[in-house]
Chains A and B, each alone.
Chain A
Amino acid sequence: MDKLIHAHGLIKRFGDFTAVDGIDVEVRRGEAFGFLGPNGAGKSSTMRMIGCVSPPTGGVLKILGLDPRRDGPKIRARLGVCPQLDNLDIELTVRENLTTYARFFGIPRKVARRRADELLEFVQLAERADSKVEPLSGGMKRRLTIARALVNEPEMVLLDEPTTGLDPQARHLVWERLFRLKQQGVTLVLTTHYMDEAEQLCDRLVVMDGGRIAAEGSPRELIERYSTREVVELRFAAESQEPYAEKLAGLGERLEVLPDRVLLYVDDGDEATAEVQRRSLMPASVLVRRSSLEDVFLHLTGRTLVD
């Protein structure tokens, strides 16, 4: 039994509104799997179905080989969940948040205390063990929520936007901890709208938009399939970038016009830059970079990930 998640034609509706519109997902043991998509793509709705707290409206869903409709408690006993919004217990201390949560899984008190101390060490909150939750920074709360998700030694950890709203330093700390978990063979399933997060952490991911899956693969595969090796970003000092697009025609494989810049998809950025100059177009700035998942998303949906 190596498929921890098996979803086929999975649907979630809220009234008339379809939040998840027939997705197929398979996650294998030991993988780090991601859902990459903008706000409203249906990522959280999907995660809540996987976490067995939201019943699917249609389709097939098997978690750890079991049926969430029948075996919710049994499945949840083996999952760790870090929801999009922290829901720590504000009436308890940092350590008590872990020990109390452990008790919900039926973990004996002594074991709970030991694990709480280990986990606080792991997420670097040991010095704050006796503090209340409220005064913690956003990053600390997030780390505590992650620690809480690990208290039952889960086979699979679900992380819904683990670093949204954190400053860069706090994000890196979280990434580093998640990377450690991954190295230890824990199956990670995460959602994000940061392409760098997806690239850093995910072995495999799906690009999600409007409740559907637009593409699936490893970050590298997706970039190879849907983008070129390099991208030239040109900013023209003008109201509209549109007129320049015409003059750039034929340059590179593809071209995207954004409100504030033009993206040229090419194999060799420097060569393309030289050609731009040859055509005597005078961009205010030129940036040559490698393709990223952001470009994949733009290509697939015509929109940027973060607006």
Chain B
Amino acid sequence: MVSLVLPRLASWKGTVFEGSGRRAASVTERNISCLRSMYWVVMISGFVEPVLYLFSIGIGVGALIGDLRLPDGRLVGYAEFVAPAMLASAAMTGALSETTFNFFGKMKFMRLYEGMLATPIRPIEIALGELAWAMVRGVLYSAAFLVIMVALDLTTAMRALAMLPATVLVGFAFGALGMATSTVIRSWQDFDLIASAQFALFLFSGTFVPPGHYPAPVRWLIEVTPLYRSVDLTRALSLGPVGPRQLVDVLYLLALLAVGLTLAGRRMGKMLCK
């Protein structure tokens, strides 16, 4: 029945594109092939949350607040002000849920990566592949949210198109951060800490209140957090104007991505290749 193994060696080798990118993509592909009906439930809940905030606070509370004066003097509706922040935090949430909880489970309990590391795949490629997967999920959230923003006339279609790649960057940066964090975490309990930190970021990163309203030291603190830089980027793209500050935002997020990814790859190597 089977003429196995050796005789057919090299039947496919040689046609194969070999390299880090290919190997990382195969890790992403693994996640896509285990998408099952249950998973959609998880994914939808991640999308619904920022939409609820947009409606309840942006539009609901916004009706009480009225218009808001931007630093350049323009007046915008409160919902317009809040929406790009919800977009950025949705990108954050999507990326983090995949790279913290799920990633940790795969590493510690499913021992999934042990199997992968017996193939040509290297730890950093697993990190890259998982991150790319988190991005697939993040982009879906963002795109759906942007459609709502345009439908509610909170931004224009052109601006929405510009925001999509920005949310990809935001997702990548938070994904890398989440992954690096997961490699130093010891138990599920530590995820409560992550969740608290995430919620604090969500509340205070200039999401609902312009940071100019806080006292100076608090403002400085806020301005160095990753979600603030993300909101600053998406809000500028949504409401304008775009300036050198946004270049800082982009560089900041790129740096976070590079550092997080390197750290995650190193730590994974240390833990799994003992």
Contacts and interface: CB of A to CB of B under 8 A. Distances in A.
Contacts of A122: 1-2, 4
B267 interface: no
Contacts of A88: 115
Interface string B112-149: 10111111111000000000000000000000000000
A92 B31 CA distance: 10
B18 A54 contact: no
Interface residues of A, number: 46
Q: How large is the interface on B (under 10, 10 to 19, 20 to 34, 35 or more residues)?
A: 35 or more
Contact of A186 (B5, B29, B273): B5
A103 B274 contact: no
A77 interface: yes
Contacts of B11: 111
Contacts of A181: 4-5
A55 interface: yes
A79 B12 CA distance: 16
A190 to B, nearest CB: 15
A154 interface: yes
A150 B9 CA distance: 12
Contacts of B1: 121-122
A17 interface: no
Given A101-B115, A107-B12, A77 B29 contact: no
A83 interface: yes
Contacts of B15: 108
Contacts of B115: 83, 87-89, 101, 148
Q: Main SS of the interface on chain A?
A: loop
Query: Most A CB atoms within 10 A — which of B15, B22, B30, B120?
Result: B120
B110 A89 contact: yes
Contacts of B221: none
A104 B110 contact: no
Given A100-B30, A100-B33, A186 B6 contact: yes
A118 B111 contact: no
A253 interface: no
B274 A54 contact: yes
Nearest to A105: B119
Nearest to A85: B111
A105 B17 CA distance: 10
A256 to B, nearest CB: 37
Contacts of B17: 106
A107 B273 contact: no
A103 B114 contact: no
A77 B117 contact: no
B213 interface: no
Contacts of B122: 72-73
A76 interface: yes
Interface in B101-117: 110-112, 114-117
Contact of A154 (B5, B116, B272): B5
Contacts of A103: 26, 29-30
B12 A111 contact: yes
A264 to B, nearest CB: 45
Given A83-B114, A96-B34, A101-B115, A106 B23 contact: yes
B8 interface: yes
A84 to B, nearest CB: 11
Contacts of B216: none
Interface string A51-91: 10111000000000000000011101101010101011111
A148 B116 CA distance: 11
A87 B121 CA distance: 16
A98 to B, nearest CB: 12
A35 B34 CA distance: 37
B64 interface: no
B16 interface: yes
A54 B273 CA distance: 5
Contacts of A74: 120
A85 to B, nearest CB: 7
Contact of A184 (B5, B27, B30, B272): B5
Query: Most B CB atoms within 10 A — which of A77, A92, A105?
Result: A105
Contacts of A92: 30, 33-34
A184 B9 CA distance: 13
B216 to A, nearest CB: 49
Contact of B23 (A90, A96, A104): A104
A153 interface: yes
B270 to A, nearest CB: 11
Nearest to B272: A53
Contacts of A53: 114, 117-118, 272-273
The 3 closest A-B pairs by CB, nearest first: A73-B120, A104-B119, A81-B118
Given A79-B118, A89-B34, 8 more contacts: A14-B274, A54-B273, A83-B114, A100-B29, A119-B2, A121-B1, A122-B4, A153-B9
23 contacts: A51-B118, A53-B117, A73-B120, A73-B122, A81-B118, A83-B115, A88-B115, A89-B34, A89-B110, A90-B110, A92-B30, A96-B34, A100-B30, A104-B120, A106-B18, A108-B15, A108-B16, A118-B4, A122-B1, A122-B2, A153-B5, A153-B6, A181-B4
Interface of B: 1-9, 11-12, 15-18, 22-23, 26-27, 29-30, 33-34, 110-112, 114-122, 272-274
